Amino acid sequence: MKNITLILLLLFSLKSLSQENYNSESYQVTLGDIEAKTFAKDSTANALVIYEVGKSYVDKNDYDLRTDVKHKIKILNREGFKNATVEIFLYNNKTKSEKVENIIATTYNKIGEDVIKTKLEKENIYTEKYDENHSSIIFTLPNLKEGSVITYSYKIICPFVSSYKGWDFQDVIPKLYSEYNASIPGNWLFHTKLVGGKKLTTNTSVIKKECLIMNNGATADCSENVYAMKDIPAFIEEDYMTSKKNYLARIEYDLKTFRDTDGTVKHFTKSWKDVDREFRTDKEIGKQLKKSIDIESLLSSEIINESDKLKQSQAIYSYVQNNYTWNGDYKIYRDVSIKNLLKNKSGNVSSINILLHNLLEESGIDVKPILISTRNNGFPTTIFPVIFDYNYLIVQATINDKKYLLDATDSFLNFGDIPFKCLNQIGRILDFKNGSDWIEIKPSTPSNIFYQAKLKFDEDEALVGSIKSKRTGYHAFYKKKAYYANSNDYLDKLENNFPYLKISDFKITSKGKTSKDFKEAYNLEYHFDEAGNNIYLNPFFVKFFNENPFKLQERTYPIDFGYKDSYFYMFEIELKDNYKVVELPKSHNIVLPNNTGQLLFSSQKLGNKVILSFKIVFKQAIYQAEYYEYLKEFMNKVVDIQNNTIILLEKSN
């Protein structure tokens, strides 16, 4: 009987495999592509790239960059239909623009024994303006059905010699085969980098002699490169990560130098020394950093005459925070104007923080600007300067030999704190005297949560008590913003979170929205469950994590919390003489590998009190991918303890 079962399972597996006869070796659509209904390697996939290829080269006649692209995709179910809408972004400036030609798109369906091909009509291709420097070409493949195979191809013509196309090997759907061919003339010199950590299955390079012959008779040899990957898993985003472009498998090019047909050489990639020199003379950031400020017209005499430099710096920081509003603009190299900021009381991030920089400098504080790429913007390139990798600017002040990172764009930030979005590991500090350098970007204060809950039975056998809480660091920042933005809404949400509690006498005991911490206290009445003489109490009024944020089978990129933090919950219940403890929860002590984190849960009875303590500590801000399985199991236990811990009491009379 066991042998029969094994044979049936084997036959079923072979049948399943035979149904997936994808042609991942060419752009040609086969019956195997159309008849396949599943993708066994990823049962969650809604669509699948069967085959794709790109080829970039310099046109022999027009001497511009051409990129030919072909994609063949299987639509597995209706959720995969969105992969049949294609958007091509094209760059333009005031004089030149990219364009796209030869869009050919076809949908393949099998109806009965016939394969039906439906072609995209030209009138269903749309052009839209995306922003001032980009337009987009959009089209959707016609006659989509579950099981359709779609193909589309096009050519991009780019007149910008510095914009050699890169290639994305990985996307949000899996791919069977992805190939990129790059023909690079010898007069282009690029920095080439493979991002994402996945290995190429093909990586070849040969020299093709005289691939280009220019009008003046000059010739150029070309480096003919072929890069390919097979069986590329879908990239699935999950909580606690920075920009996905840090981890998507792709190849990128940054032009270092270009030698024109007349022999002139233009350098695109410079050294940081060159960049520092340019910033000093730059009409935006450089000019504004040198702008003199009449501090007497802006600051009070008390601030100007303050002898304690830390107190003076804090007062200047508070002045900028409370008098100027960030307009939400991340364009740190454009429209930077202290003059307009002073006039309009609103400006971009560079204007606000350069005003802060200049006021501190005029007051005798050692201060320097720092360029940052925010978490959503991706990591900046470190091996050579790429100025447009950066989209944010903060400042560093050195006071009494201690360094403070400052950002005055948010009135809830404390002196020495920066927004969470800036916690992207490194920044570039601009020092025009000694040269710029890398600086580690990390929080100045710990981020912790502490709760203390105390309960007892009153004369009417009701369970009453109080809760006190304290948050520091980023935990305090988020709570302050929520409470001071709308205190009524904050209280409504607090009460809705605890349906079995009645909350009263709520109060904030910290010192306002710029306090280093956020403290609150309130009284409560607990409506518990009774079953005969038994009382079931769930002690976790507060849950730090409602569910496990880690759900992937495998995660190949780091778990980036942004900062180290800890959570502590203390629960105490005082029993009357007519109550006894039937059962206490089991204690736990779980430690992450290399002592990088800990979960500690204990319960005990001391006299007529039951005391529970629950502590979670993350000792690292960033955990590498190999910690994922441990963190996943760790968080499973955290959620299980919070959701399933019960104190069982029994009435003795």
Tell me the pLDDT tens digit for each residue of 444-466. 889 999 999 999 988 888 889 99
Among 413, 440, 467, give the residue marking a domain's end.
440
Q: Which tokens hold the place of 87?
A: 């958007």
The boundaries of the domain holding residue 39 are 2-266
- pLDDT exceeds cutoff 80 at 254: yes
Confidence at residue 395, expressed as pLDDT on a 0 to 100 scale: 97
Contacts of 321 (CB under 8 A, 6+ apart): 408, 410, 411, 413
Higher pLDDT pick, 89 / 269: 89
Task: From 580, 576, 618, select the one nearest 596 (Cα to Cα).
Answer: 618
Shared-domain flag, residues 81 and 159: yes
178 strand-pairing partners = 52, 229
Shared-domain flag, residues 197 and 228: yes
Shared-domain flag, residues 20 and 96: yes
Written as one string, the DSSP assignment of 38-56 is --TT-TT-SEEEEEEEEEE
What CATH number corresponds to the domain at position 391? 3.10.620.30
Angle made by CA atoms 522, 524, 529, in degrees to the nearest 5 = 155
> 496: phi > 0 → left, psi -120 to 50 → alpha, else beta; which?
alpha
Written as one string, the DSSP assignment of 147-199 is T-EEEEEEEEEE--TT----EE---SS-EEEEEEEEEEETTEEEEEEEESSPP
Confidence at residue 49, expressed as pLDDT on a 0 to 100 scale: 98
C-alpha span between 409 and 326 (Å, rounded): 5
- pLDDT exceeds cutoff 80 at 103: yes
C-alpha span between 480 and 413 (Å, rounded): 10
For the sheet with 134-140, list strands across it: 85-91, 134-140, 126-131
Contact (Cβ atoms closer than 8 angstroms) between residue 564 and residue 473: no
Question: Binning pLDDT at 50, 70 and 90, where does residue 536 land?
Answer: confident
Q: Which tokens hold the place of 558?
A: 């780091």
Read off the pLDDT of each residue in 203-208 and give the average, rounded to a whole number.
Answer: 94
Confidence at residue 351, expressed as pLDDT on a 0 to 100 scale: 95
% of residues, the chain, pLDDT over 70: 96
Read off the pLDDT of each residue in 24-45 and give the average, rounded to a whole number.
Answer: 95
CA quadruple 615, 620, 623, 624: dihedral sign: negative
- pLDDT exceeds cutoff 80 at 17: no
Read off the pLDDT of each residue in 134-162 and give the average, rounded to a whole number.
Answer: 94
Read off the pLDDT of each residue in 557-570 and give the average, rounded to a whole number.
Answer: 97
Task: From 541, 539, 471, 547, select the one nearest 510 (Cα to Cα).
Answer: 471
Pairing of strands 175-185, 47-58: parallel
Confidence at residue 460, expressed as pLDDT on a 0 to 100 scale: 81
pLDDT, tens digit, 9 for 90 and up, residues 466-500: 999 999 999 999 999 999 999 999 998 888 887 77
- What's the DSSP call for residue 22? -
State the average pLDDT for the chain.
Answer: 91
Among 440, 456, 480, give the residue marking a domain's end.
440
Confidence at residue 215, expressed as pLDDT on a 0 to 100 scale: 67
Q: What is the pTM of this model?
A: 0.87
Indicate the SS3 state at residue 547: coil
Shared-domain flag, residues 353 and 414: yes
% of residues, the chain, pLDDT over 90: 69
Confidence at residue 644, expressed as pLDDT on a 0 to 100 scale: 93
C-alpha span between 373 and 42 (Å, rounded): 34
- pLDDT exceeds cutoff 60 at 3: no
- Residue 599 is inside which H or E element, if any? strand 597-606
Shared-domain flag, residues 631 and 546: yes
What CATH number corresponds to the domain at position 44? 2.60.40.3140
Read off the pLDDT of each residue in 169-195 and give the average, rounded to a whole number.
Answer: 92
Confidence at residue 265, expressed as pLDDT on a 0 to 100 scale: 80
Lowest mean pLDDT among 65-69, 340-344, 514-518, 615-619: 514-518
Shared-domain flag, residues 131 and 229: yes
User: Roughly what angle, to the nearest 10 degrees, separates helices 309-323 and 349-362?
Assistant: 150
Question: Binning pLDDT at 50, 70 and 90, where does residue 12 land?
Answer: very low
Domain count, the chain: 3
Shared-domain flag, residues 377 and 455: no
Read off the pLDDT of each residue in 93-108 and give the average, rounded to a whole number.
Answer: 93
End-to-end CA distance of the chain: 60
Among 233, 250, 266, give the residue marking a domain's end.
266
For the sheet with 579-583, list strands across it: 529-531, 534-537, 647-651, 579-583
- pLDDT exceeds cutoff 60 at 4: no
Question: Binning pLDDT at 50, 70 and 90, where does residue 261 land?
Answer: low
Shared-domain flag, residues 166 and 227: yes
- What's the DSSP call for residue 474? H
User: Roughly what angle, to the nearest 10 degrees, separates helices 473-485 and 487-497?
Assistant: 110
Higher pLDDT pick, 177 / 330: 177
Task: From 469, 555, 449, select the one nearest 519 (Cα to Cα).
Answer: 469
Shared-domain flag, residues 428 and 556: no
Contact (Cβ atoms closer than 8 angstroms) between residue 614 and residue 538: no
Shared-domain flag, residues 170 and 303: no
Lowest mean pLDDT among 60-69, 82-91, 255-264, 511-520: 255-264
Question: Binning pLDDT at 50, 70 and 90, where does residue 216 land?
Answer: low
Read off the pLDDT of each residue in 598-609 and give the average, rounded to a whole number.
Answer: 94
- pLDDT exceeds cutoff 70 at 68: yes
Confidence at residue 23, expressed as pLDDT on a 0 to 100 scale: 96
- Residue 31 is inside which H or E element, if any? helix 31-35
175 strand-pairing partners = 49, 232
Shared-domain flag, residues 152 and 189: yes
Shared-domain flag, residues 181 and 112: yes
Pairing of strands 402-406, 392-399: antiparallel
pLDDT, tens digit, 9 for 90 and up, residues 624-644: 999 999 999 999 999 999 999
- pLDDT exceeds cutoff 90 at 205: yes
C-alpha span between 240 and 228 (Å, rounded): 30
C-alpha span between 322 and 312 (Å, rounded): 15
Contact (Cβ atoms closer than 8 angstroms) between residue 133 and residue 160: no
